[in-house]
A = this chain, B = another copy of it.
C-alpha cells in the first residue's frame, strides 16, 4: 500500500455527487487493465460501497432491428420527464465478431444523451474486451453510487450475454418485434425463462394487428412456463409498445414498478441481490484460478508445448494434464504469491 492508497480518490466525492463527467472517468478507470489503474479502481469501488444507494437495475435484451435504441430513448426520456435520473450501459460481448457496430454510439440516442438527468455509456472499444461481466458490474456499482434511480443494462440477443446481464439485474425485459406465429419457436427457451416482461415493439400503424397477435402468442407461451416464486400474479407478462409513437411505455414502467415493489415487500429483491453477489464471487474465483493458464507467458508456453505433444500422440491428455498441474504447483513455489 502506498501513499496514494491512503488519500481518498479524487473521483470519490464527485461520483457520490452524481457528476457525470467524473462517473464517466471512473468507468474508464474500471475498464482499464493496467495494474495501477486496477488497484485504484478496486480501492475506489471499496470506498464507494455501503452508501446504501440502490438503483432499479433493468436488463434489456433484443436482437438488432427490434428498435432497442428508439425504445431506450423514448423510455428514458419518459423517466427523466418524471425527474428520475437514468443511466444506460451497453454490454456487447459479440462485438469482436460484429465489429461493435450494434452498440456503442451515443448519437443513436441523441435526445436522451443531451438530457442532464441521463447518462449514456457506450460499450467499450474492442481493445478492452475480456472481463466483460466484471467491468459491467463495476460500472453498474458506480452508477448506483452516483445516485441514479434507474440503470438500464442493454444487451444484444446473442450467446450468453442475456444470462450474464440477468445475473446483474433486478428485472429483465425482452424487446421483440411483431412476427408470424412460426417465428415464436425461434425464441430461445432460456430467454423466456429469465424474462420478467416481454415488450412487443412497433405496435403502431400497419404492424399493430401483428403486434397484438405476437403479444397473445408470447402471453400463451409464458403461461406454459412454470410459475416462479419471485413473481406476483400476472407475471411474467407480455405487452405491446410503440417506441416510435411513444405508446405503452407508461404501462410498461408501471408494471416494472409493481413487480419491483412486490419483490421488495416479499423479500425476493434482497435475496436475489445476495444470490447474484455470491454467483459473481464464485465466478471471479473460478476465472482467477483459470487465469493462471493465460496470464503468465511461461505457463502459456508450457501449456502449448504439452498440447502439441498430446496432439502428436506423444502424451495422453490425462498424463499431460497431470504434468501441467504439477508445473503450475511448482510455479507458485518458485515465485512468491501476490497477495491481494
Contact = CB atoms under 8 A, between A and B. Distances in A.
A28 B317 CA distance: 20
A321 B185 CA distance: 40
A285 B293 contact: yes
Contacts of A320: 281, 284
Contacts of A42: 318-319, 322
A146 B332 CA distance: 41
A81 interface: no
Contact of A337 (B274, B277, B281, B329): B329
B340 A323 contact: yes
A311 B277 contact: yes
Contact of A338 (B312, B317, B329, B333): B329
A290 B286 contact: yes
Contacts of A312: 274
A288 B325 contact: yes
Contacts of A278: 307, 310-311, 317
Given A288-B325, A326-B337, A329-B332, 19 more contacts: A45-B316, A45-B318, A46-B316, A46-B319, A274-B310, A274-B311, A274-B312, A277-B313, A280-B317, A281-B324, A284-B321, A284-B322, A285-B321, A285-B325, A286-B290, A289-B290, A322-B340, A326-B338, A332-B332
10 contacts: A42-B318, A45-B318, A277-B310, A280-B317, A282-B307, A284-B318, A285-B325, A288-B325, A326-B337, A333-B337
Interface of A: 42, 45-46, 49, 134, 137-138, 185-186, 274-275, 277-278, 280-286, 288-290, 292-293, 303, 306-307, 310-313, 315-326, 328-330, 332-333, 337-340
The 8 A-B residue pairs with the shortest CB-CB distance, nearest first, are A284-B321, A322-B340, A329-B337, A280-B317, A281-B317, A185-B185, A274-B311, A288-B325
